[in-house]
Structure 1
Amino acid sequence: MTHPHTALETLGLSPDPTTLERVLHLLGGPLNLPATQRHAPARLDARDLPTTRVSAWLRRQLPTTSTSLSVVWPASDVAATLPTDTLLGHLHLLWLPVLGDLLAVDADHHRLVTLSRQEIVTVSPLRGETPAGDGDPPGEERPG
């Protein structure tokens, strides 16, 4: 497995400790990933799907005006702010090869994206928020 630092360096980016602090503050502390994914209104079973299909699904879930995401690898306590297109275009480098779970927060649009090492991908509102913007209707999807 690749370490998040290495994946970020490959893309010419570096970790940002203030992003980690900001995301934990927005989430109200550490996240219970299984519970969050279980209750997410938009869910994708990504097992056996290429990351290009996962990226396309995520692009449909996020508002078209989403330009940056605060990304966290909880197992490593590493975070960075990335352009949305960078994350979606490089999931093959940034997600599963990098220690599994990845969280991404779109603070401007109050969205939380989770990508678990069990290959479940969800998009949900930040705590107490209702998602705004465009995107597919909620529910579990299994493209195929």
Structure 2
Amino acid sequence: MDIRFRDAQPADYQTVLDLNDASVHYLSPLDGERLARLASESCQFRVAVRGGKIIGFLMAFADEADYDSMNYRWFATRYRRFVYIDRVVVREDCRGLGLARRFYQELEAWAMQHAMTRLSCEVDVDPPNAASLAFHDKAGFREVGRQVAGDDSKVVSLRTKLMG
């Protein structure tokens, strides 16, 4: 069955919230109001659809977005012309299909078209998100810092990938 990628629409938000909730141990929680606000600030909010059902999403923010994430702010104080990948979620039974790689390829193309110099993200290192660490290493992201996230319950690796 073919998988297609498209911009997220308000009708998709409940499914996006459900996917986010299923992976909230790696992400920050979302509710409908916050999701709508973040969607309006994002430079890319894309969904993957198979058989009419959303099976994954990516949300990213360009520099100078009005985004209160402490990880986004870390990059914003150090870099210009960057895109911050806030969250990528793929439904558990659809992992391994290359969706995250395809989301990132689309985002890289968008970043190049908009003269961005780097992609940025954070990955949990304590407790570790081994799959995400391996994915980002393979994709060319390198650690540029670390910080304690949120309520001191985890440490994240702050990573960038230079464009071009």
The normalised TM-score by structure 2 is 0.29
The normalised TM-score by structure 1 is 0.32
Larger relative contact order (Cα-Cα within 8 Å, sequence gap ≥ 6): 1
Report the structure, 1 or 2, having the larger strand content.
2
